[in-house]
Amino acid sequence: MSQVNSYRTGPDEGGHFGIFGGRFVAETLMPLILDVEKAYNDAKNDPGFDQEFRSYLKQYAGRPNPLYFAERLTEHFGGAKVYLKREELNHTGSHKINNVLGQILLARRMGKKRIIAETGAGQHGVAVATVCALFDLPCKIYMGKTDVERQAPNVFRMKLLGAEVEAVTSGSMTLKDAMNEGLRDWVANVEDTFYIIGTVAGPHPYPEMVRDFQCVIGDETKTQIMEAEGRLPDVVTACIGGGSNAMGLFHPFLDDKSVRIIGVEAAGSGIETGEHAASLTGGRPGVLHGNRTYLLQDDDGQITEAHSISAGLDYPGIGPEHSWLKDIGRAEYVSATDAEALEAFQLCSKKEGIIPALESSHALAYVAKLAPSMKKDDIIVACLSGRGDKDVSTVAAHLGVEL
Amino acid sequence: MTAQSFAPDSGRIKARFDALKKEGRSGLVTFITAGDPNYDTGLEILKGLPKAGADLIEIGMPFTDPMADGPAIQAAGLRALAGGQTLARTLDMVGEFRADNQDTPVILMGYYNPIYSYGVERFLKEARDAGVDGLIVVDLPPEEDAELCIPSAKAGVNFIRLTTPTTVGERLPVVLNEYTSGFVYYVSILGITGTKSATDAQINEAMSRLRAHTDLPIAVGFGIKTPDHAKAVADVADAAVVGSAIVDKIKENLDENGQATPGLVDAVLSYVSDLAQGVRG
């Protein structure tokens, strides 16, 4: 990588962040991947594209959203000041809308007639279905059968928005299998179809492109914290499945050496149980879904199933730039268990009147650990990536409550 | 670097295509997944394939997430994995096959992660020692040649490239670069294995497009299901590849617990004989 004093110049021309990233896809897709890369590079250099993107973010998604000082949580923890970046206030209820607005504008620019996507918790699927309704493009969303069952309200939402939802029954029937089916569909319909990948993973240019569209999170946070506190935060943290809300928050802070950057993976039943979704903490480098990155895999290189209470984090891989940031030590990666996330979910609901997504609750669970040990004038910013309405029935079931 | 500076390959693939040319016919490439439905039955099928008329043999290395394969081959891979198949055992299988057969080319096909996990250098050495002649790795386009293609060429194992209907124009010389050898595998459809089929006209057009860029033999696969269809493809290509349809024959001969029934090996080999008859016209 050619950067001298910056962590923000990657990837290189081949899409690599150190040894991570790349383009590991079937030949059928390569010409299209190269087209997407070219179209994205053209769009990046076209002020009109950025203007259109920013306009939709403002008028349609509702940005900028607040950087909220969580006074009661701060008081409860008795340490650092806790700020929440309110991505859950975006239209469709999560940070996912940022990226899909960018990608659908690119798909239109490329003249594509049909959209496909994969989804885990359904937040990305709902966001894609939404923009497809907005721009009148047919779309098909692949979702693991397990996730279809545990995220029924989001499935219904996608259908209301006019999307076709296909329940994927292969493999572990979760996000990774939905991504396999998405790639298969794309291989078969490469000529007219655009694949809107929901996270900072997949073949180059997706990790870079999704990151760029999500950087609005960190850019706004930076401006807002300067307004509120007159200085940068001491810690920024976010949950990580594939890692798109985290990368969006982290990237603008990468060159600010004073800022600790902490990603929180899903430890499921606990890393030591083997039932988790923590690719960085419990995996090793491998190649899947078009990129080299940390993966959960067995000794023979077979991909193993991820486990998390949160469908959105239930993925055996992670964006390649996160793998790179881990290896070079610029970001720290920790994990929170299902139980800790459930506790944070309830705490945030009761103390702040904000029901967070189970995904985001992992980041909040780590804030609960870290904030008390920090000084009262320290600042910690956590990304509240989505709202928890979709998780209410899952949480009720875990708490033994019948709805 | 030019092709001449590479270590010599095993010569089996070239020898086989030369022999086919002398016979004035095209070849039949048969695909099975290693360890499907179990190691012993898979090995028995493998050993019977040359006599049944397979000119070249492709062996699938099972992977949990075969993104470019259809349900038939994915299911075969999962059957094999459930039976304890590993990459090391796949290499053992080739070694056992080579004990009785020194002529039939064996090509391993699969995805990169199990090889990367095994270690590229170790894999190539052991593959060469076991008697593997070529590799087809679906998720390694020429943009990632440094990973396995170039080391493979240097180790004397043919790296066989996939070309597809989207491989056109300036992309053709990129794909058919100096590192590709053995033969060219033309994936005749846009899509996954075992689904739709290409028309004769589409295949004809693709053949002339490819032949303008390479002197290597061209094998055509994806969607070939019957002896007649194999013949039609063999009439225009240097070989026809049949995969999912053979794998389906294995599946048809499993009992309700997924165990091989007594007639399985014969049923599969007899189907391969029919295909071979078709190809031989």
What is the reported pLDDT for B18?
98
pLDDT in tens, B11-20: 999 999 999 9
Indicate the residue of B87, B168, B192 with minimum beta-carbon distance to A188.
B192
Helices (H), A215-357: 216-229, 244-250, 279-282, 320-328, 338-352
Contact A301 B143 (CB under 8 A): no
What is the reported pLDDT for B34?
98
List CB contacts (< 8 A) between B87 and chain A.
300-301
Better-predicted residue by pLDDT, A251 or A174: A251
C-alpha distance from residue B233 to each of B17, B103, B110, B204, B239 (Å): 16, 24, 23, 9, 8
Indicate the residue of A27, A176, A288 with minimum beta-carbon distance to B163.
A27
pLDDT in tens, A116-159: 999 988 999 999 999 999 999 999 999 999 889 888 889 999 99
> Do residues B219 and B27 touch, judged by C-beta distance below 8 A?
yes
**Rounded mean pLDDT, B207-231:** 94
Half-sphere exposure of residue B166: CA atoms within 13 angstroms, side-chain side: 20
Q: How far is the C-alpha of A289 from the C-alpha of A179, rounded, in Å? A: 8
* Other C-beta atoms lying within 10 Å of the C-beta of residue A28: 25
User: Does the pLDDT value for residue A11 go beyond 60?
Assistant: yes
What is the reported pLDDT for A314?
87
Better-predicted residue by pLDDT, A348 or B72: A348
User: Is residue A87 annotated as a catalytic residue, yes or no?
Assistant: no
Among chain B residues, CA nearest to A304: B64
Helices (H), chain B: 12-23, 39-52, 71-82, 87-100, 112-118, 120-130, 149-155, 171-175, 200-211, 227-236, 244-252, 264-280
C-alpha distance from residue B241 to each of A349, B8, B156, B209, B211 (Å): 59, 25, 23, 19, 18
**Rounded mean pLDDT, A253-271:** 97
List CB contacts (< 8 A) between B160 and chain A.
none
Which residue out of A187, A190, A289 would a mutagenesis test of the B interface target, given it has the greatest number of B Cβ atoms within 10 Å?
A187
For residue A307, name the pLDDT band (cuts at 50, 70, 90): very high
> Do residues B14 and B8 touch, judged by C-beta distance below 8 A?
no
User: Does the pLDDT value for residue A2 go beyond 80?
Assistant: no
User: Does the pLDDT value for residue B33 go beyond 50?
Assistant: yes
User: Does the pLDDT value for residue B4 go beyond 70?
Assistant: no
Per DSSP, the residues of A15-46 read SEETTEEEEE--TTTHHHHHHHHHHHHHHHT-
Contact B117 A300 (CB under 8 A): yes
Per DSSP, the residues of B75-124 read HHHHHHHHTT--HHHHHHHHHHHHHH-SSS-EEEEE-HHHHHHH-HHHHH
pLDDT in tens, A161-199: 999 999 999 888 888 899 999 999 998 998 999 999 999
Give A109→chain B minimum CA distance, Å: 21
For residue A95, name the pLDDT band (cuts at 50, 70, 90): very high
> Any chain B CB within 8 A of the CB of A31?
yes
Indicate the residue of B63, B144, B168 with minimum beta-carbon distance to A24.
B144
> Any chain B CB within 8 A of the CB of A116?
no
Indicate the residue of B74, B115, B118 with minimum beta-carbon distance to A170.
B74
Contact A28 B68 (CB under 8 A): yes
Question: Whose structure tokens read 């997430």?
Answer: B65
List CB contacts (< 8 A) between B118 and chain A.
300-301
Q: How far is the C-alpha of A162 from the C-alpha of B196, rounded, in Å? A: 28
* Other C-beta atoms lying within 10 Å of the C-beta of residue A107: 24
pLDDT in tens, B228-268: 999 999 999 999 999 999 999 999 999 999 899 999 999 99
List CB contacts (< 8 A) between B120 and chain A.
none
Q: How far is the C-alpha of A268 from the C-alpha of A286, rounded, in Å? A: 21
Sign of CA dihedral B104, B110, B115, B117: negative
pLDDT in tens, B101-129: 999 999 999 999 999 999 999 999 999 99
What is the reported pLDDT for A151?
85
What is the reported pLDDT for A69?
98
User: Is residue B69 annotated as a catalytic residue, yes or no?
Assistant: yes
Q: How far is the C-alpha of B151 from the C-alpha of B179, rounded, in Å? A: 10
Burial class (CB in 10 A: 0-12, 13-18, 19+), A155: buried
Q: Would you call B71 helix, strand, or coil by DSSP?
A: helix
For chain B, positions 149-208, list CB contacts with chain A under 8 A. 161-168, 171, 175, 187, 190-192, 195
Better-predicted residue by pLDDT, A326 or B222: A326
For residue B5, name the pLDDT band (cuts at 50, 70, 90): low
> Any chain B CB within 8 A of the CB of A175?
no
Among chain A residues, CA nearest to B161: A27
> Any chain B CB within 8 A of the CB of A289?
yes
Contact B139 A24 (CB under 8 A): yes
Per-chain mean pLDDT for chain B:
94
C-alpha distance from residue B278 to each of B120, B188, B228 (Å): 38, 19, 6
Contact A30 B165 (CB under 8 A): no
The answer, yes or no, to whether the previous bond of A207 is cis (omega within 30 of 0) is: no
pLDDT in tens, A18-76: 999 999 999 999 999 999 999 999 999 999 999 999 999 999 999 999 999 999 999 99
Contact B67 A183 (CB under 8 A): yes
Per-chain mean pLDDT for chain A:
96
User: Does the pLDDT value for residue B2 go beyond 60?
Assistant: no
What is the reported pLDDT for A4?
64
User: Does the pLDDT value for residue B73 go beyond 50?
Assistant: yes
pLDDT in tens, A191-245: 999 999 999 999 999 999 999 999 999 999 999 999 999 999 999 999 999 999 9
Contact A301 B115 (CB under 8 A): yes
Contact A297 B117 (CB under 8 A): yes
What is the reported pLDDT for A172?
81
List CB contacts (< 8 A) between B166 and chain A.
27-32, 190
User: How many interface pairs between A and B have CB atoms less than 8 angstroms apart?
Assistant: 116
> Do residues A401 and A372 touch, judged by C-beta distance below 8 A?
no
For residue A83, name the pLDDT band (cuts at 50, 70, 90): very high
What is the reported pLDDT for B152?
97
